[in-house]
């Protein structure tokens, strides 16, 4: 789900806020404008996002579709000098959606996509240090590993042999308070460690 925000009084300046895409998704608001003026840094100096508005394919009404794109550059490489490609993450339109639309979309994604039904996925964003200008980095739990991605480099942070290991990691790494008895909710299910 994306949210449009107009934070300034008496202004139609609009920003897109992503409330949970995760992965290499947005971690800060991005101006709702197409092209270079929309570019914002992701979690750190090796990740960037932008919006591109294009005509909606096959539309006889001339409707447009917005595409959120991500670019990963090498550490030490500048944003302007890189030849790294932009990769499309998802598309959205400016059409208003209602509660029923969100329920139907959620059911489609969570029931039909193995990413959400056959795995335990958790992402936490952390500051590299406590300064206001600090970059972010992410820790991702997926399957039997937690990986830290910082400045374009990914390192295995922890591995899990049992469901109890994962529950402890949810508490200790992700600060999610889950008790040990919660392993019963995964045991025998599609997301259980193999």
State the average pLDDT over residues 42-62: 87
pLDDT at 68: 93
Q: Which pLDDT score is estimated for 113?
A: 67
pLDDT at residue 112, rounded to an integer: 64
pLDDT recorded at residue 64 = 86
| CB half-sphere exposure, 164, CA atoms < 13 A | 2
**Cβ atoms within 10 Å of 194's Cβ, excluding its own:** 4
Q: What's the pLDDT score for residue 125? A: 87
What pTM did the predictor assign? 0.75
Q: What is the DSSP letter of 121?
A: E
More confident residue, 21 or 104: 104
Handedness of CA 175, 146, 71, 97 (dihedral sign): negative
Phi, psi of 104 (to 5 degrees): -65, -40
* Rounded average pLDDT over 27-56: 91
Beta strands 136-142 and 121-127: pairing type? Answer: antiparallel
pLDDT in tens, 129-181: 888 778 888 899 998 999 998 887 889 989 999 999 999 999 999 999 999 99
pLDDT tens-digit series, residues 100-123: 988 888 777 777 667 777 888 898
pLDDT at residue number 19: 67
Between the CA of residue 86 and those of 7, 19, 21, 72, what are the distances in Å? 28, 22, 18, 8
């Amino acid at each position: 789900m994306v949210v449009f925000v107009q934070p300034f009084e008496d202004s139609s300046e609009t920003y897109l806020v992503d409330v949970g895409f995760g992965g290499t998704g947005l971690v800060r608001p991005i101006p709702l404008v197409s092209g270079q003026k929309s570019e914002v840094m992701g979690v750190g100096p090796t990740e960037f996002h932008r919006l591109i508005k294009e005509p909606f394919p096959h539309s006889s009404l001339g409707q447009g579709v917005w595409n959120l794109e991500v670019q990963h550059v090498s550490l030490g490489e500048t944003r302007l000098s890189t030849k790294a490609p932009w990769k499309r993450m998802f598309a959205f339109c400016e059409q208003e959606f209602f509660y029923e639309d969100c329920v139907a979309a959620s059911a489609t994604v969570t029931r039909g996509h193995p990413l959400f039904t056959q795995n335990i996925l958790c992402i936490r964003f952390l500051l590299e240090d406590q300064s206001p200008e600090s970059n972010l980095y992410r820790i991702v739990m997926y399957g039997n590993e937690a990986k830290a991605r910082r400045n374009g480099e990914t390192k295995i942070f922890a591995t899990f042999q049992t469901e109890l290991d994962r529950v402890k990691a949810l508490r200790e790494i992700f600060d999610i308070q889950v008790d040990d008895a919660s392993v019963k909710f995964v045991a025998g299910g599609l997301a259980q460690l193999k």
